[in-house]
Amino acid sequence: MPRKLSALDPQRLDNQICFAVYSAAHAFNRVYKPLLDRLGLTYPQYLVMLVLWERDDVPVKDIGEKLFLDSGTLTPLLKRLEAAHLVKRTRSREDERQVLIALTPQGHALKEKARAVPHSILAASDCSVSELVAMKDEIVALRDRLNAVIGE
Amino acid sequence: MPRKLSALDPQRLDNQICFAVYSAAHAFNRVYKPLLDRLGLTYPQYLVMLVLWERDDVPVKDIGEKLFLDSGTLTPLLKRLEAAHLVKRTRSREDERQVLIALTPQGHALKEKARAVPHSILAASDCSVSELVAMKDEIVALRDRLNAVIGE
DNA sequence: GTACATTCAATTGCGAACAATTAAATGTGA
DNA sequence: TCACATTTAATTGTTCGCAATTGAATGTAC
């Protein structure tokens, strides 16, 4: 294959949208790191807290469905959040298979400390809100099409 | 805050582009998994192979710069590729700090077996090539702006 | 009401990802 | 030359992410 056609070679790293997404996710992670260190959270832990700040006292499964994560990831993560006194884990009385995750007062309070985080990310993105919203919607649509394929 | 303004709440999970990127990366990973299982590769290993298929016999550092990964990730990964007889690791004679990564014949041969992978991903994306290229360019530009902030 | 299947969380094991440190090789300045 | 800084890969330790399995609770069919 001639070199001038490399821009069309689907087997080239730089032509793959998945690598763009993969490397952008890591770049976001690196920007978040210093911000979340101050809150004592990792990025996946921050995602769980975002879910709980919207709605509290939910089973592990609900958190997993929103974040596309399973119990193998969430169980140890939630135990670390419990060890940090941010959440409480209790078996549901109605259905003893479920473990309900509730925020502690410290967990609720952390929401205020985290309020500045999205603005810092927006600044680092160096991009207008409307552009970011448009990109976000495109990426979510792509993600949902990919997830639809997985479920056959 | 009234519920009708939730679409503007920057602290809501669904309003965050980083979660869109994060969850899209995982969705890609799940689509790749069955395809790469047949090649005996994980997705990060596949990325390293893409780099090597473009240019062979390069130091670990070069691979790290292209993939935004450090030696803590690459050293064990490359050892697994070596154990699978896909690459060879040799100290450079000119600069003994460097370890050069070269493809074995099996490593070269795997490129042909991997040729169908990008097409399968394109099909799963359920999207035109031109749309994907446009999205890819936007995401890469965003990633590069984020990485620029990290380097201050 | 007793088999059977399903659901849910936890567990185990493996492969990333990264911070922090170490050690060796190389480069630089006095 | 010698002291010092820089570069490069490897190592250690922690946290994700997921496949596969386990075990307990619940639901369903007969």
CATH number at residue A58: 1.10.10.10
Question: Would A8 be classed as within a structural domain?
Answer: no
Residues 6 or more apart whose Cβ sits within 8 Å of residue B52: B58, B63, B87, B101, B103, B107
**Per-residue model confidence as pLDDT tens digits over B103-132:** 999 999 999 999 999 999 999 999 999 999
Question: Would A10 be classed as within a structural domain?
Answer: no
Question: Beta carbon of B34 within 7 Å of strand D?
Answer: no
pLDDT at position A13 is 84
Average pLDDT estimate for B82-90: 97
If one counts the domains in chain B, the total is: 1
**Contact status, residue B93 vs residue B25, Cβ threshold 8 Å:** no
Mean pLDDT of chain B: 93
pLDDT at position A15 is 81
Alpha-carbon distances of B49 from A142, B52, B56, B67, B76, rounded to whole Å: 25, 5, 10, 11, 15
Which structural domain range is residue A73 located in? 17-115
Distance (Å) from the C-alpha of residue B122 to the closest C-alpha of chain A?
Answer: 10
pLDDT at position A144 is 95
Q: What sign does the dihedral B10-B12-B15-B18 (CA atoms) show? A: positive
pLDDT at position B7 is 72
**Contact status, residue A29 vs residue A43, Cβ threshold 8 Å:** yes
pLDDT at position A150 is 81
Question: Would A21 be classed as within a structural domain?
Answer: yes
Question: Would B49 be classed as within a structural domain?
Answer: yes
Question: Would B42 be classed as within a structural domain?
Answer: yes
Question: Beta carbon of B44 within 7 Å of strand D?
Answer: no
CB contact under 8 A, A146 and B27: yes
**Contact status, residue A2 vs residue A120, Cβ threshold 8 Å:** no
Any idea which residue has 């032509």 for tokens? A15
Question: Would B124 be classed as within a structural domain?
Answer: no
Determine the distance from the C-alpha atom of residue B109 to the mean position of all C-alpha atoms in its chain, rounded to a whole number: 20
**Contact status, residue A59 vs residue B15, Cβ threshold 8 Å:** no
Q: Which nucleotide is nearest to B73 (CA to C1')?
A: C17
**Per-residue model confidence as pLDDT tens digits over B134-145:** 999 999 999 999
Question: Would A103 be classed as within a structural domain?
Answer: yes
Of A21, A25, A74, nearest to A51 by C-alpha is A74
Question: Beta carbon of A39 within 7 Å of strand D?
Answer: no
Per-residue burial over A96-124, b if 16 or more Cβ lie within 10 Å, else e, is eebbbbebeeebeebeeebeebbeebeeb
Cα(A151)–Cα(A94) distance, integer angstroms? 30
Tens of pLDDT along chain A (152 residues) come to 555 567 778 888 888 899 999 999 999 999 999 999 999 999 999 999 999 999 999 999 999 999 999 999 999 999 999 999 999 999 999 999 999 999 999 999 999 999 999 999 999 999 999 999 999 999 999 999 999 988 76
Question: Would A62 be classed as within a structural domain?
Answer: yes
